[in-house]
Amino acid sequence: MKSIKLATIIGARPQFIKMKPISSYIKKHSSIEEIVIHTGQHYDRLMSEIFFKEMKIDEPQKNLSVGSASHGKQTGEMLIKIEEALFKIRPQGVLVYGDTNSTLAGALVAAKMNVPVFHVEAGLRSYNKAMPEEINRLLTDHISSLLFAPTQTAIANLKKEGLYKNTILTGDVMLDSILMFEKEIKKMSFLFEKYKITHKNYIIATLHRAENTDNKKRLLAIINILDNIARNIKLLIPLHHRTKNALKKHNITVKNIDFIEPVSYLTMLFLEKHAKWVITDSGGIQKEAFILNTPCLTLRKETEWQETLENNMNTLVDTDEMLIKEIISKTTTPSNTENTLQIYGNGKASKKIVEAIINYFE
Ligand code: UD1
Ligand code: UDP
């Protein structure tokens, strides 16, 4: 007999990846039943379905098909539809991940229904309120009953906001995800041929953050820098739909960059692992590059993943072309030391999180 009914709210690509190890762990516990609600924030096959298929995640019990819209409209529609769904499900707790509009909507509906909210990846801060994600994570943390912090930095941030009491240091679930699929990535060397790449001889880049794509001048500057770099080394970009649309809108074209469709999770991990450099504005990819021991350049002014900077595996380059060229022209690349992986835990974050949720109800 299951005694805890937990509703999980997800909706965007990184959330499918983060939920995999936790949902797998929940299945091992007879005392907890998980009902997954997909808001439909991401809906294209390569942004959603492919992750469920490849990682063998059960289809969500409900897809709210909210789709794309402005922040207010998208979040508003999520609020209405999540509330309808939760009225029917009547969960004892709601689990949310990260910092997307789906995260905030799930947390807000639950909190107003007096249902405890459990937040995975709590305490991350960029201290830049112009980022929609910063608003989402701040508000979600402040209405959560359990805050699962991935790092000591996150713990320190939550302490500053008076939220320490309900905080648990868990380590990072993305490390758990990588460890789950580590063996499979080793079997994927056919991708060298598919993408015409060789080990440590190419750059993998991603770009989708609103501050980079929604400002024509900034987008053009970044694309020009990457296109110049790609004259000398193969540079692959799996293109996020937001960026594809922005490039089209502004008529921005390239000569040297290899744009490809968004790739599956295992393909992405393979491409990150074998690249000489990762260049990105993604949160998850900075961390994955660190764990996979590939140095990273981040196309932002700040990062939530401070530990990657402190260990010299990541540099905030913003749009500084000189700095980027100087870094990637060095003959030796930085590398992790033996202990640095501990920064993101021991690969058992999911276990800690599920056990903490069960304890919460005991
Ligand atoms: C969202 C999250 C961001 C996260 C990212 C992960 C918010 C505020 N932002 O950003 O934190 O890093 O997901 O990838 O929640 N689109 C499609 N097909 C899709 C999905 C999106 O074409 O399946 C296009 C639409 O034109 C849409 C645009 O991409 O307007 C942006 O999508 P949206 O989910 O609003 O934001 P992301 O940039 O994906
Ligand atoms: N990712 C993927 N395919 C891609 C690009 C990214 O599977 O084409 C994965 C990546 O490995 C990481 C996650 O998506 O696990 C990061 O998501 P994204 O960059 O969209 O969002 P963020 O982490 O910035 O919120």
Question: In testing the pocket of ligand 2, which one of 266, 282, 290, 298 has its CB within 8 Å of the most ligand atoms?
Answer: 282
Asked if residue 81 belongs to a domain, the reply is: yes
Which SS3 state, helix, strand or coil, does residue 277 take? Answer: strand
pLDDT digits (tens, 9 = 90+) for 15-26: 999 999 999 999
| pLDDT, position 337 | 75
- The residue whose C-alpha atom lies closest to atom 5 belonging to ligand 1 is 12
Asked if residue 178 belongs to a domain, the reply is: no
How many Å apart are CA 52 and CA 64, to the nearest integer? 16
Q: Do 47 and 154 reside in the same domain of the chain?
A: yes
- The residue whose C-alpha atom lies closest to atom 22 belonging to ligand 1 is 241
Asked if residue 291 belongs to a domain, the reply is: yes
Q: Do 18 and 148 reside in the same domain of the chain?
A: yes
Q: Do 207 and 312 reside in the same domain of the chain?
A: yes
Q: Do 114 and 254 reside in the same domain of the chain?
A: no
pLDDT digits (tens, 9 = 90+) for 81-122: 999 999 999 999 999 999 999 999 999 999 999 999 999 999
CA–centroid distance, 342 to ligand 1, in Å, is: 31
With CA atoms as reference, report the closest residue to 264 among 52, 25, 36, 32. 52
Asked if residue 281 belongs to a domain, the reply is: yes
Q: Do 66 and 139 reside in the same domain of the chain?
A: yes
CA–centroid distance, 243 to ligand 1, in Å, is: 10
With CA atoms as reference, report the closest residue to 99 among 138, 48, 41. 138
Pocket lining for ligand 2, CB < 6 angstroms: 13-14, 17, 206, 208, 238, 262-265, 268, 282-285, 288
Asked if residue 195 belongs to a domain, the reply is: yes
Q: Kindly state the average pLDDT of the residues 300-313.
A: 94
- The residue whose C-alpha atom lies closest to atom 14 belonging to ligand 2 is 14
Pocket lining for ligand 1, CB < 6 angstroms: 12-14, 41-44, 47, 68, 99-101, 132-133, 208, 241-242, 245
Task: Choose the catalytic residue: 38, 42, 208, 240.
Answer: 208
Q: Do 197 and 337 reside in the same domain of the chain?
A: yes
CA–centroid distance, 83 to ligand 2, in Å, is: 28
Give me 136's structure tokens. Answer: 């989402």
For residue 351, give its domain range: 4-172+345-361
| pLDDT, position 340 | 72
Residue 265 Cα: closest atom of ligand 2: 7
Give me 314's structure tokens. Answer: 């990541």
- The residue whose C-alpha atom lies closest to atom 26 belonging to ligand 1 is 242
- The residue whose C-alpha atom lies closest to atom 8 belonging to ligand 2 is 262
With CA atoms as reference, report the closest residue to 43 among 57, 60, 56, 21. 60
Between 13-27 and 283-291, two packed helices, what is the crossing angle to 10 degrees? 60
Among the listed ranges 237-246, 270-279, 327-336, which one has the minimum average pLDDT value? 327-336
pLDDT > 60? residue 1: no
CA–centroid distance, 206 to ligand 2, in Å, is: 8
pLDDT digits (tens, 9 = 90+) for 170-190: 999 999 999 999 999 999 999
Q: Kindly state the average pLDDT of the residues 2-6.
A: 89
Domain count, the chain: 2
Q: Do 155 and 198 reside in the same domain of the chain?
A: no
Q: Do 282 and 307 reside in the same domain of the chain?
A: yes
Q: How confident is the model at residue 339 (pLDDT cuts 50, 70, 90)?
A: low
CA–centroid distance, 41 to ligand 1, in Å, is: 7
CB within 8 A of 288, min separation 6: which ones?
174, 178, 268, 269, 272
Asked if residue 94 belongs to a domain, the reply is: yes
pLDDT > 60? residue 327: yes
Q: Do 241 and 101 reside in the same domain of the chain?
A: no
Residue 201: which CATH number?
3.40.50.2000
Q: Do 195 and 251 reside in the same domain of the chain?
A: yes
Ligand closest to Cα of 42 equals: 1
pLDDT > 90? residue 3: no
Asked if residue 177 belongs to a domain, the reply is: no
Q: Do 319 and 281 reside in the same domain of the chain?
A: yes
Q: How confident is the model at residue 2 (pLDDT cuts 50, 70, 90)?
A: low
Question: In testing the pocket of ligand 1, which one of 15, 19, 68, 285 has its CB within 8 Å of the most ligand atoms?
Answer: 68
Residue 242 Cα: closest atom of ligand 1: 29
| pLDDT, position 336 | 84
pLDDT digits (tens, 9 = 90+) for 129-145: 999 999 999 999 999 99
CA–centroid distance, 233 to ligand 2, in Å, is: 23
Asked if residue 271 belongs to a domain, the reply is: yes
**Residue 274 bears catalytic tag:** no
Q: Kindly state the average pLDDT of the residues 211-229.
A: 97
For residue 202, give Cα distances in angstroms to 206, 234, 235, 284, 355: 14, 5, 6, 20, 41
Q: Do 209 and 119 reside in the same domain of the chain?
A: no
- Given a contact cutoff of 8 angstroms between Cβ atoms, the answer to whether 142 and 167 are in contact is no
Share of the chain above pLDDT 90, in %: 94
